[in-house]
Amino acid sequence: MSVEIRVPQMAESLTEATILRWMKREGDPVAAGEEIVELETDKANNAISSEVAGVVERIVRQEGETVVVNDLLAVVAEGAPSGNGKQAAAAAPAPARAESKPAAPTESGPPVKATPMASVVAGDKGVDLTRVAGSGPGGKVTRADVEQAVQQSAAAPAPVTPTEPAPRPAPQATPPRPAASPAAAAATTGDRREEIVPMSKKRQIIAVRLKEAQNTAAMLTTFNEVDMTAIMELRKRRNEAFEKRNGIKLGFMSFFTRAAIGALKAFPYLNAEIRGTDIILKHYFDIGIAVGASDGLVVPVVRDADRKTFAEIEKEIKSLAERARDNKLGIAELLGGTFTLTNGGIFGSLLSTPILNTPQVGILGMHKIEERPIALNGEVVIRPMMYLALSYDHRIVDGSEAVRFLVRIKELVEDPEALLLEG
């Protein structure tokens, strides 16, 4: 009996992925539950396992290809492998590329010219999107529209003069672009050396979605500064006992997470999203924590952060950050956040304007702590200060609301005992 391995339903907003690598070849034995192929999305990598024990009978799609939900990846012949399975795999030719299914339209939202993956594929194939008729909602250009335009262009005969030989048949499909080899990746002219580094699919999609966030949201940023004296003194007094009791240090992120929750309770429109002409207010607090990974920024989510203690928040943030850097996060850990925190201060950033993590309408940017002279009670004193930046979607959040939200965070951070009352 043969069992098909297909692209699973990853999440409502994720319909496409790239085949990153095959762990098995045709003819290789595979155990039930053993990973067989790894898919890459703009959120995280996702390993697909075989449901049965047997032999990889056929690999349908190749590394580097873009696939959509329910696409056939491979076929596993259930049962014990034969003794010459490996040898058969070595002699087997590379499987032919199967015809790609049209991509499903991406998540609904304000009308845009093209879906993110349509833009990525158009860039790869050199397709002018202004010349492609969109079949998606509101005339939006989809990935399927771009691929159809590529096929039509390939099938169109080139002009032939009487002295020219007959044109060769056009290729039916454009193979995936291979990664540049070290020799091809560098071009040297004298001492002016350049290096070509192809963007990964994840990086391409991240770039498209960040730009789409700028084009869609009415994004604005407001700033304030916070005196970190009280928190730093509290950490100095309590950190040793906290670490001994909980097995983790008391960091700044738990304070800012709790402060953000307190401010979100007071200003609920910053814990919302826009769906068409409706505003969806979230009465739960799933806080995204931006983490810089090797191949791009990811935002794992601390679920129900309002119900967690300081120690639980610190432990979860540490675990999520470590697994993000090791590329071991699951799709479910990256979806559904209601508000995001990003701390550029750990890299030395003094001030920045963070970009919204759509469809969220608010993101809080933290920065480095720097001793600065400030006026306090008529005197100039030196205090550890941090600039805060709140970027928000002005379509549903008014300027005065955003300013008061940031002031509320400042009040809670400067008076840590108030955070206990907020809990």
Report which of 311, 295, 189 is spatially closest to residue 250, judged by C-alpha positions. 311
Please check whether residues 50 and 141 belong to one and the same domain: no
**Whole-Å CA distances, 166 to 68, 129, 151:** 37, 31, 20
The tokens describing 73, both together, are 């990846």
Report which of 335, 348, 224 is spatially closest to residue 288, judged by C-alpha positions. 335
Please check whether residues 149 and 116 belong to one and the same domain: yes
pLDDT band at 98 (very low <50, low <70, confident <90, very high): very low
Residue ranges with strand state E in 33-94: 35-40, 45-49, 54-59, 66-68, 72-78
Q: How far apart are the first and last CA of the chain?
A: 56
138-185 per-position pLDDT tens digit: 677 776 677 778 777 766 655 444 444 445 444 444 444 444 444 445
The tokens describing 373, both together, are 């002279």
Residue 99 domain flag: no
Q: Write out the residue range of the structural domain in which residue 142 sits.
A: 111-155+199-216
Specify the pLDDT at position 84. Answer: 44
Please check whether residues 72 and 128 belong to one and the same domain: no
Please check whether residues 128 and 252 belong to one and the same domain: no
Say if residues 39 and 45 touch (Cβ distance below 8 Å).
yes
List the CATH number of the domain containing 43: 2.40.50.100
The tokens describing 9, both together, are 């339903």
Examine the fold and report which residue of 35, 61, 91 is the final residue of a domain before the chain moves on: 91
CA-to-CA distance for 5 and 310, rounded, in angstroms?
Answer: 42
What φ, ψ does residue 209 adopt, rounded to 5°? -75, -35
Residue 278 domain flag: yes
406-417 per-position pLDDT tens digit: 999 999 999 988
Please check whether residues 255 and 388 belong to one and the same domain: yes
CA angle 100, 201, 392 (to 5 degrees): 115
272-275 and 219-227: which strand pairing?
A: unpaired
In DSSP terms, 157 is beta-bridged to: none
Residue 120 domain flag: yes
280-311 per-position pLDDT tens digit: 999 999 999 998 877 678 899 999 999 999 99
Examine the fold and report which residue of 165, 191, 216 is the final residue of a domain before the chain moves on: 216
Known catalytic residues are: 394, 398
Q: What secondary structure letter does DSSP report for 102? A: P
Residue 180 domain flag: no
Question: Does position 340 have pLDDT exceeding 80, yes or no?
Answer: yes
Residue 16 domain flag: yes
Residue 7 domain flag: yes
Please check whether residues 136 and 59 belong to one and the same domain: no
Please check whether residues 329 and 401 belong to one and the same domain: yes
34-89 per-position pLDDT tens digit: 989 988 876 677 788 898 999 999 999 998 888 888 899 999 998 755 444 444 44
209-235 per-position pLDDT tens digit: 888 888 999 999 999 999 999 999 999
Residue 334 domain flag: yes
Q: Quote the number of domains for the chain.
A: 3
Say if residues 418 and 411 touch (Cβ distance below 8 Å).
yes
Per-residue burial over 240-250, b if 16 or more Cβ lie within 10 Å, else e, is eebeeeeebeb
List the CATH number of the domain containing 135: 4.10.320.10
